[in-house]
Structure 1
Amino acid sequence: MKLISACTLDCPDACSVIIEKKDDGSVSITGNPEHPFTKGFICSKGRKAYERLSSPERITTPLMKVNGEFVPTDWETALDRIADKLKALKEEPASILHVRSHGYRGALAEASHFLFRSLGASATRGALCDDAGIEASIMDFGALHHNDPHDLLNAGFIVNWGKDLSRSSLHMGQIIKEARKLGRKVISISPGGDGNADYSDTVIRIRPGTDRFLAAAIIRKLLVRGYASSSALLKSANWDGFKELIAAQDEEDLLTACDCSADDMHMLANIYANIDMKPVASIIGWGIQRHVYGGENVRFINALAFLSGQVGRRGGGVYFNISSGRNLNTAWAKNAGTPARRLLLPAIGREILAATPTIKFLWADGSNFVNQTPDAASNVAAMDSIDFKVVVDAFMTDTAMRADIILPCALNHEREEILGSCLHNCVQYSAAVFPPAGQARHDFDIMTDLAARLGITPPAREYALRQALDVPHLSTTLEELRARGFAVAEHPCIAWEDYDFAHPDGKYRLPDALHTEPAPPQGYPLNLMSLVHRDYLHSQMPEKEQSSKPTVWVNPGIAMLGALDQARPIYLATPKGRIKVQVEVLKGLHPECVIIRRGGWMKFGNCANPLIEPRITDIGETAAYYSQHARLEN
């Protein structure tokens, strides 16, 4: 038997899948060949989803902590106790904190937001992922929009600013491969440590976090040559000030700041100047905006594409992000109420410890925030300071193990869901192909039962699903979506083709400052880059995969490597602390980088986040993970 479902993981591809239950009891999960973006293939994470569902490590019954140990309990007892705690805090909603991340995505995933907004509880603000780039793009264009991803096949050149095409989006990588077969040229710019060489005609290595200086140098070269688009100049709200900003820069200083050769910069200037009359598409990876000036990095790349006339053009444009919720209506949750206050998520431990009134109750779902946010030691202390904690999860994560009650949730393909994408304009239907394991329940049903105990009336699940499809640019019914598995929302294939931007005056906004990169603290010369893992999404990593020390990678020529005693334990150290690691060398990696793959758990000593200080990006209040400096030591 074959059924259509979809992957609800926090991934831009949002794949539609075919699940086959075979007569021998085995299960296969493959890409839906009818889906215009999935096109019949998916990544290993999607193919192995059933292994996660059937994992022996999975929590399948409610657990309550008694005398420091978790013991099984029933749903009625667990929910009654939670409701009693919440009722006792009814007059003090600010003391209740709701932490919701993107452990899974979809319309019904908004259920906990509905409940805690109805209570007027405290919530979080800021982001761990992509808000610096999102807010930067909104500052520039007025809204999030980009060309259809398949329009990359119409490009003459594709300039990839920092996206790891081998790990971050399997389907974007495939489009790039197809583009190269058609003769399109791909230039990848990054500090290295990615798999982009196999997807690129040219690789340019720069210093981490300094993309804005290279973009500014190219812009300066275009302006000196007189290659700026006249249409762009007319549609810029602040052209004169930006022109003065660029004129004040020294080309050599800009290239020194980003550690790029003049030859490479000149090659890029020729490409963006459109000398060959070929459109240039710019892809912006999410990593470049995880620096202190990450928003500025994105803004200068946007400005380069705009001023060179590559925006609003077939085969051109800038690809960073679209809203994964723009093709879904979740007003039932968004309009349920206003949070009493918002605590900064990238510094959540410190925020909780400093909160007045104090946080007395915490609910976390779709989130392993103790592990995933910077300054993890403060996160642990913050959890210890809270009287009562509830975590909705399927595994004993670093966050779940510190709860008072763990509520087991259904996982992908066990719960019905509708989800969008932050990359393409398809809306996917994820079916409940399998019954939830043990006593695990759909998050929406958990919310419904708890809401009833609190005198709150939530919408019915069917209503929430139907309302999700009530958007102007989507023409489908729930029945059609369930049958077909996906629908395509109608948006222009070319973003900003008429040069009418989403600001009230219709004009584009150029950056108004170019900040120097902060110097590393003395004794910590390496940028610590906790990059995406190929096989696991963030901390959704099986415990069996964490038996050995985490691996870090460095350039083989760095002096620090020769100073280490290989016979003694080696540590990755920052001013926040250190963890034991094993070291490998990686040719092509910038010598000021040290790479560790994200996802390891603190309880196994595999997590880098205890070493990372809670710095915030210049725009969007995003965690500036990659501005952390480190060293290797015995």
Structure 2
Amino acid sequence: MKEFVTVCPRNCYSTCTFRVFTEEGRVVRILPYEGNLATPEGPCIKGLAYLEREYSADRLIYPLKKQPDGSFFRIGTDEALCIIADRLTAARAKHGPHSVLFYKGSGYSGLSNDIAGNFWRHFGGATTTYGNLCWPAGLEAVRLTMGEVKHNLPWDIANASMIILWGKNPAETNVQEMIHIEKARQNGARVVVIDPRRTVTADRADMLIRPRPGTDAALALAMAKVIIDRGLADRDFIDRYVSGFEQFASSLQITPDKAQEITGIPASAIIDLAVAVAGAGRLTVVAGYGLQRYTNGGQTIRSILTIPVITGMIGKPGCGFNFANLQSYIFDEIKEPLSYYPDPESDRPFRRAIPMATFGPGFFALKDPAIEVAWIERGNPVTQLPGSGEVRKALESVPFKVVIEQFMTDSAAMADIILPAKGIFEQADVVGSYWNPYIQYKPKVGTPPGEVMPESEIYWRLAKLMGMNPGPGSGIPAPEDYDSWLMERISHTSGFIREELVQKPLIPEQNEHPAYAGMKFNTPSGKIELWSDRAAELWGVHPLPSYDPPDDYGESHLPFRLMTPNIGSRIHSQFGNLGVIRTVTDDPAWEISVADALKKGLKSGDRIRIFNSRGEVTGRVRVTARVKEGSLVFPNGIWLSEGGGINRLIEPRETDMGHGAAFHNTRADIQKLTKW
């Protein structure tokens, strides 16, 4: 057997390094790689499931063409590419390049994705999306406050004496982080979880605080008021490194009693937590992404970030605010979230005109030209975008659709031509992480099955058919030149030795640890900014962190707040179709509290109708003490064939900053079904 060190390129915190063993070009075994200090115990169940995912009988390995009755039949690669080239050429000739929609998701990370942009640039541009579904409100909040988005090394959390996991459930979504949290606990650290749900992470914590969904900013600001009013703030740190503190302190009107009314958390518990935080010595606050998927999401993150700032827990071992760490993104010319924002001048020749969060309305608002061809890769918009009913209608209106996929997802099922996507083991790449500090080389270790080819080859072959002169200097390398292109792509960036990178994960020399240790903040004032003029100028929010109730879109009369968390068995809409995953997970169900079940006369297993003004779906209910009264919980990413379709209930709205998606504002009601 041959052994390789590789990395998982999915949209996941951990970006695990692991060892794979191959026989005759097929991966037969996966084991941990201890050299990555962030993920020394190897991949989670999803990573282990690559043994099934890459060789599944359900994997798409040949091009497919849709028939008039909606079914698909196999065609050859040459025929598929000729059809696509003809449709692209005709659309451009008749309506211009902006009549083509290029939709890319975040389902696969790596520098090879640059080639897609190079192709469409040579094509003359295309219509694309802006914003992001996942985390931009939080990214922008951290950027406005700190100047950069980064945090300490993942294993540094073991040095903390107190850890607050605020809206994050790493035991399911970042399992390797729990390794370092457990080390902190062994060292005597206190772990507090703040989450409306009793997650499996909360089961391993010392304290669980359960605010009403969307009220986290009120809790944070009340804590800040206690810390300041009791003289527990680090005034020396504030005087030297913080701008806007006096305005912030005088703005705090949410007392613990008022916060109790808003959040449902007893005032005494808020006071006790605030005092404990201020006296922690080494505090790390770890914020999740779900709590910033509200219309008040950015201001919520700004509010929570004030806690480590006013207590001086920045730039030290065991301290900090861990939202995202973009220090490994050394190859990016423009880092997130700035790369999400539209700019008509710098975007040329592209038309970035459709917001991710409001795709349906944005699509139908397009004028001159309308979309004639849609190209979808690395994403499953029919399942994942808010307002999925409008998304489906939008895509149905497009005369010709191409989807590149490994499986027959909800989006792939809408395609006219499906091209099989490459697997993780079938092309070399270089991958960064938004949690661990490493840049990593992912070697090619296996042979693509059937007629699968890397997307880079798809683009090269299309470019040849369309007379676009791909090859050297074009950014669209020939298959035999791809590896050279990749090495050339990384050769202009400093901070690492290329020969070492192909052997093992590397931490770039640019990495600062502890984060902000140099007390240099890339803000207008050069300090941490509690008062941010840019927040007001760019997004129309208050210059100071503030709490505004999440918008109910006129449906405050509906009793449930809908939450769609990530779960450990899938990454959004990926992996849930695999047999190994299904054997260890329950079927998707709508979770409600015991109290709400009594009110509605429901028991686990009952069929229910879930509805609001946008539509309805049906499913089975699960009654559990893990859900707070007034909450309705269903995981995101569930395919229609699995009983999904939840996003048709979600109003397509943006977060208060960053062009994120306000998934969790949605309210709904439920009704027991006696017949179905």
Shorter-chain TM range is over 0.9
Question: Which of residues 251, 258, 277 is equivalent to 1:253?
Answer: 258
Q: Between 289-298 and 505-514, report the one with greater CA deviation.
A: 505-514
Question: Which of residues 403, 415, 434 is equivalent to 1:403?
Answer: 415
- TM-score, scaled to structure 1: 0.93
The aligned residue for residue 235 of structure 1 is 241
The aligned residue for residue 299 of structure 1 is 302
**Aligned equivalents of 1:614, 1:320: Cα separation in 2:** 24
The aligned residue for residue 445 of structure 1 is 457
The aligned residue for residue 581 of structure 1 is 619
The aligned residue for residue 572 of structure 2 is 538
Shift of residue 365, structure 1, vs aligned partner: 0.4
**Aligned equivalents of 2:393, 2:109: Cα separation in 1:** 29
Shift of residue 565, structure 1, vs aligned partner: 8.4
Question: Which of residues 172, 183, 188 is equivalent to 1:183?
Answer: 188
**Aligned equivalents of 1:240, 1:123: Cα separation in 2:** 43
Question: Which of residues 483, 500, 508 is equivalent to 1:462?
Answer: 483
Shift of residue 196, structure 1, vs aligned partner: 1.6
**Aligned equivalents of 1:518, 1:149: Cα separation in 2:** 32
Shift of residue 563, structure 1, vs aligned partner: 3.3
Q: Secondary structure at the match of 2:170?
A: coil
Q: Secondary structure at the match of 1:252?
A: helix
Shift of residue 506, structure 1, vs aligned partner: 0.7
Report if aligned partners of 1:140, 1:508 keep a CA contact under 8 Å in 2: yes
Q: Between 84-93 and 104-113, report the one with greater CA deviation.
A: 84-93
Report if aligned partners of 2:110, 2:429 keep a CA contact under 8 Å in 1: yes
* 1:516 to 2:521 alignment: no
**Structure 1 residues 259, 108: closer, same or farther in 2, change over 3 A?**
same
Q: Secondary structure at the match of 1:89?
A: helix
Q: Between 444-453 and 513-522, report the one with greater CA deviation.
A: 513-522
Q: Deviations over 1:13-68 (max 9, x none)?
A: 11111112369988121221222222142200001102011111111111122324
The unaligned stretches of length 5 or more in structure 1 are none
Q: Secondary structure at the match of 1:167?
A: helix
Q: Deviations over 1:382-407 (max 9, x none)?
A: 01111211111111111111111111
Output aligned runs, 1:139-154, within 5 Å.
Answer: 139-154=144-159
The aligned residue for residue 284 of structure 1 is 287
Report if aligned partners of 1:242, 1:512 keep a CA contact under 8 Å in 2: yes
Q: Deviations over 1:298-355 (max 9, x none)?
A: 1111112111111122211100002376133579xx9995412331012212221221
**Aligned equivalents of 1:147, 1:518: Cα separation in 2:** 31
Q: Between 519-528 and 403-412, report the one with greater CA deviation.
A: 519-528
- Percent sequence identity over aligned pairs: 28
**Aligned equivalents of 1:568, 1:337: Cα separation in 2:** 53
Report if aligned partners of 2:66, 2:415 keep a CA contact under 8 Å in 1: yes
Report if aligned partners of 2:256, 2:271 keep a CA contact under 8 Å in 1: no
Report if aligned partners of 1:123, 1:341 keep a CA contact under 8 Å in 2: yes
**Aligned equivalents of 1:24, 1:251: Cα separation in 2:** 62
**Structure 1 residues 582, 178: closer, same or farther in 2, change over 3 A?**
same
Q: Between 293-302 and 115-124, report the one with greater CA deviation.
A: 115-124
**Structure 1 residues 23, 386: closer, same or farther in 2, change over 3 A?**
closer
Q: Secondary structure at the match of 1:207?
A: coil
Report if aligned partners of 1:193, 1:586 keep a CA contact under 8 Å in 2: no
**Aligned equivalents of 1:539, 1:410: Cα separation in 2:** 17
**Aligned equivalents of 1:404, 1:342: Cα separation in 2:** 24
The aligned residue for residue 6 of structure 1 is 7
Question: Which of residues 634, 648, 651 is equivalent to 1:610?
Answer: 648
**Aligned equivalents of 1:60, 1:153: Cα separation in 2:** 44
Report if aligned partners of 2:604, 2:622 keep a CA contact under 8 Å in 1: no
Q: Deviations over 1:58-103 (max 9, x none)?
A: 1111112232432222222222222222222336222211111111
**Aligned equivalents of 1:402, 1:93: Cα separation in 2:** 22
Q: Between 16-25 and 63-72, report the one with greater CA deviation.
A: 16-25
* 1:57 to 2:58 alignment: yes
Report if aligned partners of 1:527, 1:592 keep a CA contact under 8 Å in 2: yes
Shift of residue 421, structure 1, vs aligned partner: 0.4
The aligned residue for residue 424 of structure 1 is 436
Shift of residue 185, structure 1, vs aligned partner: 1.0
Shift of residue 628, structure 1, vs aligned partner: 1.0
The aligned residue for residue 359 of structure 2 is 348
The aligned residue for residue 625 of structure 1 is 663
Report if aligned partners of 1:329, 1:468 keep a CA contact under 8 Å in 2: no
The aligned residue for residue 485 of structure 1 is 504
**Aligned equivalents of 2:602, 2:41: Cα separation in 1:** 48
**Aligned equivalents of 2:564, 2:645: Cα separation in 1:** 9
The code of the aligned residue for 2:635 comes to R
Question: Which of residues 310, 317, 325 is equivalent to 2:320?
Answer: 317
Question: Which of residues 368, 376, 391 is equivalent to 2:380?
Answer: 368
The aligned residue for residue 48 of structure 1 is 49
**Structure 1 residues 327, 24: closer, same or farther in 2, change over 3 A?**
closer
Q: Deviations over 1:134-158 (max 9, x none)?
A: 1111111111111111111111111
Report if aligned partners of 1:53, 1:437 keep a CA contact under 8 Å in 2: no
Report if aligned partners of 2:380, 2:573 keep a CA contact under 8 Å in 1: yes
Q: Deviations over 1:464-491 (max 9, x none)?
A: 42244346553121x4333x23222131
**Aligned equivalents of 1:195, 1:88: Cα separation in 2:** 53
Q: Secondary structure at the match of 1:265?
A: helix
Output aligned runs, 1:1-40, within 5 Å.
Answer: 1=1, 2-21=3-22, 27-40=28-41
Q: Between 161-170 and 253-262, report the one with greater CA deviation.
A: 253-262
Q: Between 447-456 and 125-134, report the one with greater CA deviation.
A: 447-456
Aligned residues: 627
Q: Between 594-603 and 231-240, report the one with greater CA deviation.
A: 231-240
Q: Deviations over 1:570-627 (max 9, x none)?
A: 1222322222221122214211211112221124432311221112111111111111
Question: Which of residues 591, 595, 598 is equivalent to 1:553?
Answer: 591
Q: Deviations over 1:177-230 (max 9, x none)?
A: 111111111111110142122331111111112111111001111111122222
Q: Secondary structure at the match of 2:182?
A: helix
**Aligned equivalents of 1:342, 1:380: Cα separation in 2:** 18
The code of the aligned residue for 2:275 comes to N
Q: Secondary structure at the match of 1:448?
A: helix
Query: What is the Cα-based RMSD across aligned positions, in Å?
Result: 2.5
**Aligned equivalents of 2:131, 2:327: Cα separation in 1:** 17
The aligned residue for residue 73 of structure 1 is 75
Shift of residue 561, structure 1, vs aligned partner: 4.4
**Aligned equivalents of 2:604, 2:162: Cα separation in 1:** 45
Q: Between 133-142 and 556-565, report the one with greater CA deviation.
A: 556-565
Q: Secondary structure at the match of 1:531?
A: coil
Q: Between 78-87 and 404-413, report the one with greater CA deviation.
A: 78-87
Q: Secondary structure at the match of 2:634?
A: strand
**Aligned equivalents of 2:605, 2:501: Cα separation in 1:** 60
**Aligned equivalents of 1:267, 1:251: Cα separation in 2:** 10
Q: Between 236-245 and 433-442, report the one with greater CA deviation.
A: 236-245
**Aligned equivalents of 2:649, 2:496: Cα separation in 1:** 48
**Structure 1 residues 22, 263: closer, same or farther in 2, change over 3 A?**
farther
The code of the aligned residue for 2:546 comes to L
Q: Secondary structure at the match of 2:528?
A: coil
* 1:117 to 2:155 alignment: no
Question: Which of residues 596, 610, 614 is equivalent to 1:572?
Answer: 610
The code of the aligned residue for 1:66 comes to Q
Q: Secondary structure at the match of 2:295?
A: coil
Report if aligned partners of 2:214, 2:550 keep a CA contact under 8 Å in 1: no
